[in-house]
Structures are given as structure tokens and as C-alpha cells.
A and B are shown apart, each in its own frame.
Chain A
Amino acid sequence: MKDIRSYFNPLHRDASPQLASAYRSAEDFYGYLPNYFLSMSRLPMAVEAYTTFLTELYDEVTLPTGLAHLISMQASIVAGCNYSIAHAAKNASDCGVTGEKIEALWQFETSQLYNARERAALAFATKSAHAPSTLDKPDFEQMLTQFSELEICEIIVIVAQTGFHNRWNDALATPLEAQPLSFARSHLPGNAWDPGKHA
């Protein structure tokens, strides 16, 4: 089968000088310019607005940023997008989550590395990421014993934002950049993650 990327080529970075500032914001956020910004760049206004949404969201979140990235990673695991999993794993590492803890995300419900609050947040995020959602009223009642309404809203918005990342990159088979690819190859369990079509 022919590579789908040959049917939908990202523009080169230099092709969109008006996006220089948005690309810099994305680089500040990720530590590199992700290829998916280049595949969106035929719609420069949407790239700018998306970049603002992404950065505002993570800036506004009051939950620990490391947990926010683990929530995004878990939502990507549910969606089966290996590109998004690697991005979120690298982001979590960059804000101080240990490689061992990131690797243990697939066992968050039993791993000693996760505390009760993190487990509750990740179990809630898992249900939120399913299509359709498997959350029900009792899940919210249970969450309210440990989290504020704002924090619950944050978890859902992180999962929701990841929904764009999952769909876009899984549809386009976006190639993984060197940094998250290298991190994921060293730290994610080989039986649970491989770059597949994103290599």
C-alpha cells in the first residue's frame, strides 16, 4: 500500500512565514515543532487559533501539569493513536514525571507509582475518552469527593482537546518527530506501544 502521506503532503515550515510566531509557540510548548502543525498549515488562521487554544488550556489548568499530560496520554491510549501517545509521554517527562511512572501508565490502577487521586482522575479520563462516553452520573458524584467541579472540568477539557490531536494525526498518519520517537522507544513498553504507521 502506498503511504497516505504522499496524498497529503505537509507544507514546509518556510512556506508559511505568517505562522512564524505560532510555530514558535508550538516549539515552546513541545520543545520541537510537531509535524501536525505543518499538515494543518494550509489553513493558517486555524493553526494560529489552535495554537492559542492549546497553550491557553495548559496555562489555565490548575491540576499538576504532569498529571494533565498523563491524562492526555491515557485518552490517546483509549483512542489508539500512537503518535499522540508519544507526544503526551514526552511532554509528561519534560515536566518531571519519571520514565518509570510514564511506562507504568498502562497499569495505573495497580501500580504503586500512582496515588488514589491520580487513579481516580485517570479512570475518569478513560471513560471520558470512549466514543460514545461511558461516563454516567455516579462517576461525577464519586469524583466530587476528591476533586472540585473546576478540576473535573479540566480533566474533560484535556481529554476533549486530545480528541482533536487523536483524530487529526491518526487520519493523516503523521510521522513522529525525532524527540518523542526516541523517548517513546526508550521508555514505553514494547508490548503496548510501537510507532506503526507514524514511524
Chain B
Amino acid sequence: MLPTRAKGPYLAPLRREDTPELEPTYQDLIGFLGFVPNTELTMARMPRSTKALIDFVISIYGDSEVGQPMLMLCGLLASASAGCMYCSTHNANAASDLGVEAKKIAAVWEFESHPIFSERERAALNLAFKACQTPSGVSSGDFERMAKYFSETETTEVLMAVCHFGIFNRFNDSVAATIEPTPLAFCKAHLPAEHWQPGAHDE
């Protein structure tokens, strides 16, 4: 389990009205996730970077060929693999919002053996898990496995979704961002306690 740290946030989120220039970005986030995450309210001290980062996120998920549910499951496993419980929570909740059943979300840690996952899904989750190890655990065989089920563009998309969480995992875990009520309630109800605990990110 993760080492115990003081409850966050270590860097306070700004109020939404403090950065009116980010209002269009906040509206994008409400459309994407259903709420304005504490991540962006905290990063809002750097409004230009915050806007550009969210535009980058939307460019990955906006017209995904692989599909957002698969990318969210990859993001969940990637974030859990990197030890960021805040990002794990957001991905799990977003996958549920997109229609992925809760028992499948909760089974993501057993992706190699659990019958709920297809071989195609396993190939993507395997890449997600290994790409977030430090240093990277990815080797040639992982790309061979992807090539059986995914086009090169789709593989790029999966890897992009996983790697862009390198930004959010480090940011949110560093500031110990507080998880918002809706995703927190979902994860407390559905995720296995041996793999997920809100820790420093608890409300």
C-alpha cells in the first residue's frame, strides 16, 4: 500500500471566478467530465499552460478511434500503476459515465486473467500498465501484441492517452489534489480496497 502522507491539498485550488480567462476551458471540462476538477483550479496560477494542456487532452480524446471507454480503462490502470489515486478515481468515474459496467472497472487490475476482458483489451491494458513503470517496462513484444488488434494510429492513441497521464499523475500526486465528491463516491462504492484508497486525496 502507499506510504501515508498528510491529507491535501498542499497547494490550494483557486476559485473558479479568479481566472475568468479560463472559463471556456472550465466549460470544456464540464462537458468532458461533468465538473471542474481541482487539478485545473490549482494549475490556474498558470492560465496559459492550463488552457493549452486541456486543449491537448481534448485533441487526444475528441475523435478517438479506439473509443473513450477503452482509453479511460487504460488511464485508470496507468494512473494506478504510477500510484496516483486522484487520476485513478477520475478515470474510473469517467469510464462509468461512458457506460462501462462497474464490475469491469473494478476488475481492471486482473485484466490478464479476468474473463470480462477481450484479448484486444488485454493488449492495450498491458501496454498501459508497462508504460507507467519507472523506468518503462515496455518492450518489443508489447508492440507486437498491440499490432494483432490495433492499427498504428490506434496504438499511437492508446500510448498517447497513457503517456499524457504522466503529466496529470505527477501534478495531482505532487499537490495531493482533493478528489471531488462524485468520482470519490463512485470509487468508494466500487473499487477494490486492496488496489484503491483515496489516501492524501480524500475529501
A residues contacting B by CB (< 8 A) are 1-4, 6-9, 39-40, 42-43, 45-46, 48-50, 52-53, 56-57, 59-61, 75, 78-81, 127-129, 131-140, 149-150, 152-154, 156-157, 159-168, 170-172
| New contact pairs (6) apart from A8-B155, A53-B53, CB-CB < 8 Å | A43-B60, A79-B134, A80-B135, A131-B134, A132-B82, A160-B167
Chief secondary structure at chain A's binding surface: helix
Report 13 cross-chain contacts, Cβ distance below 8 Å, ordered by A residue: A6-B140, A40-B156, A46-B60, A53-B49, A56-B51, A60-B46, A80-B135, A132-B82, A153-B45, A163-B167, A165-B166, A167-B166, A170-B135
Q: Which of B6, B62, B159, B166 is the one whose CB lies under 8 Å from A163?
A: B166
Residue with the highest number of chain B CB atoms closer than 10 Å, among A50, A133, A136: A133
A81 surroundings in chain B (CB, below 8 A) = 135-136
B186 in the interface, Cβ–Cβ < 8 Å?
no
Q: Specify the main secondary structure of chain B where it touches its partner.
A: helix
Q: Are B136 and A167 in contact (CB under 8 A)?
A: yes
Which B128-154 residues have a C-beta within 8 angstroms of A?
130-132, 134-136, 138-140, 143-144, 147, 152-153
The chain A residue sitting closest to B61, CB to CB, is A46
Cβ contact within 8 Å between A154 and B169 = no
Given A8-B143, A140-B10, decide whether A149 and B45 contact each other with a Cβ distance below 8 A: yes
Give A170 to B137 CA distance when docked, in angstroms: 9
Quote the shortest CB–CB distance from A87 to chain B (angstroms).
Answer: 15
- Chain B residues close to A by CB (< 8 Å): 2-3, 5-6, 8, 10-11, 42-43, 45-46, 48-49, 51-53, 55-56, 58-60, 62, 82-84, 127, 130-132, 134-136, 138-140, 143-144, 147, 152-153, 155-157, 159-160, 162-164, 166-171, 173-176
Cβ–Cβ contact B59 & A160, under 8 A: no
